[in-house]
């Protein structure tokens, strides 16, 4: 996808996306806003507060939840645009955000300072291990000590407590590792929209946590049976077929590594034998209609995927 400026889009009632081009740093990245009557969820805050200005205005005086699909720099630097958000992330994402150095982000700060201008990590005040549910038609009560006030400082250690029957606007946030160990997805039960972060990507995802490959593939197939619309972190809004295509690619990579190991093929020869041109002609076909910079990005991502999967599985 070739884009010069950011792009706002209504996907369906109560679901919006905001797309930020990343220039030489990769294909454009999307944030998803789920709007409810009482609260909103921004799933990812992209590269800086500027990227969230519009979503912040749309939220008005509703309670804002922010959830990070994972802690990569292009997904979580714009949280400062919201006043007093409740920030949610997987427990491993918190650990990643607290790391003393962030080499990828430092590179972007040096090479493209405008892209991440004003961007800062805001730590989650709420973490989860497997899943967490939000209700966008209800206002949460806060734990004692916070007195229900929405002051910035009061929200450091809150646990939203919901009572009564769930409304129709329930969002499920579920761990789905594989791109990274801290990756998660958000599913809107009312609309069937799945915001997939980088757990799904068009034409294929980047494997950063190869030990979770099997869990990742199973998870993608489960969501493919449930979701009606899929919004990947990078790539156009799609249907469940994107999840199936991604699962098929990941399964093929696992098969390649098994075959390469049985042949005793050294890792430096993997791309010659199993590069996109040779082993994935249908993906090469899709790449041919892409911006040359994005095409190069995915050729390199596939090389890295093979190498990382080989290191973990062979
Ligand atoms: Zn990303």
User: pLDDT, tens digit, for every residue of 155-164?
Assistant: 444 556 556 6
Please report the pLDDT score of residue 174 as a whole number: 97
Q: Where are the domains of the chain?
A: 7-244
Distance from the CA of 234 to the center of ligand 1, in angstroms?
7
| SS3 assignment, position 43 | strand
In this structure, of 8-12, 109-113, 166-170, the range with the lowest mean pLDDT score is 166-170
Class for the domain spanning 7-244: alpha beta
Residue 50 has a pLDDT of 97
pLDDT bin (cut points 50, 70, 90) of residue 119 is very high
Q: Distances from the Cα of 77 to the Cαs of 50, 97, 122, 161, in angstroms?
A: 10, 11, 8, 27
Collect all residues with Cβ–Cβ distance below 8 Å to 123 and sequence separation of at least 6: 87, 94, 97, 98
Q: In the chain, what's the furthest Cα-to-Cα distance?
A: 65
**Centre of ligand 1 from the C-alpha of residue 144, in Å:** 37
Query: Binning pLDDT at 50, 70 and 90, where does residue 29 land?
Result: very high
242-262: average pLDDT:
96
Q: What is the pLDDT of residues 78-87, one digit of tens each?
A: 999 999 899 9
Instruction: Give, to the nearest 10 degrees, the angle between helix 292-313 and helix 241-263.
Output: 50
Cα 115 to ligand 1 centroid, rounded to whole Å: 14
| Cβ atoms of 138 and 120 closer than 8 Å | no
Shortest CA distance to 17 belongs to which of 237, 277, 223? 237
Output the pLDDT for position 158: 55
Distance 94 CA to ligand 1 centre (A): 17
């Amino acid at each position: 996808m070739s884009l010069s400026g950011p792009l706002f889009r209504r996907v369906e009632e109560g679901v919006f996306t905001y797309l930020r081009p990343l220039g030489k740093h990769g294909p454009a990245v999307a944030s998803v806003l789920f709007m409810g009557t009482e609260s909103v969820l921004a799933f990812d805050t992209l590269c800086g507060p500027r990227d969230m200005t519009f979503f912040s205005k749309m939220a008005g005086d509703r309670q804002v939840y922010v959830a990070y699909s994972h802690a990569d720099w292009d997904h979580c630097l714009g949280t400062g645009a919201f006043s007093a958000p409740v920030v949610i992330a997987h427990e491993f994402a918190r650990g990643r955000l607290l790391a003393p150095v962030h080499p990828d982000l430092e590179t972007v700060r040096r090479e493209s300072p405008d892209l991440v201008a004003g961007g800062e990590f805001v730590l989650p005040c709420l973490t989860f291990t497997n899943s967490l549910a939000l209700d966008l038609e209800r206002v949460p009560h806060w734990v004692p000590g916070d007195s229900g006030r929405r002051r910035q400082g009061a929200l450091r250690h809150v646990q939203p407590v919901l009572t009564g029957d769930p409304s129709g606007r329930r969002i499920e946030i579920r761990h789905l590792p594989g791109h990274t160990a801290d990756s998660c997805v958000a599913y809107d039960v009312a609309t069937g929209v799945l915001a997939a972060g980088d757990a799904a990507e068009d034409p294929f995802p980047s494997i950063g946590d190869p030990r979770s490959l099997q869990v990742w593939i199973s998870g993608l197939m489960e969501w493919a049976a449930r979701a009606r619309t899929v919004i990947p972190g990078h790539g156009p809004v799609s249907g469940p077929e994107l999840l199936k295509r991604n699962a098929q690619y990941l399964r093929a990579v696992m098969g390649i590594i098994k075959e390469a190991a049985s042949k005793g093929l050294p890792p430096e020869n993997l791309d010659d034998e199993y590069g996109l041109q040779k082993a994935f002609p249908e993906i090469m076909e899709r790449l041919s209609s892409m911006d040359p910079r994005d095409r190069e990005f995915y050729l390199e991502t596939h090389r890295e995927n093979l190498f990382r999967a080989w290191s973990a599985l062979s």
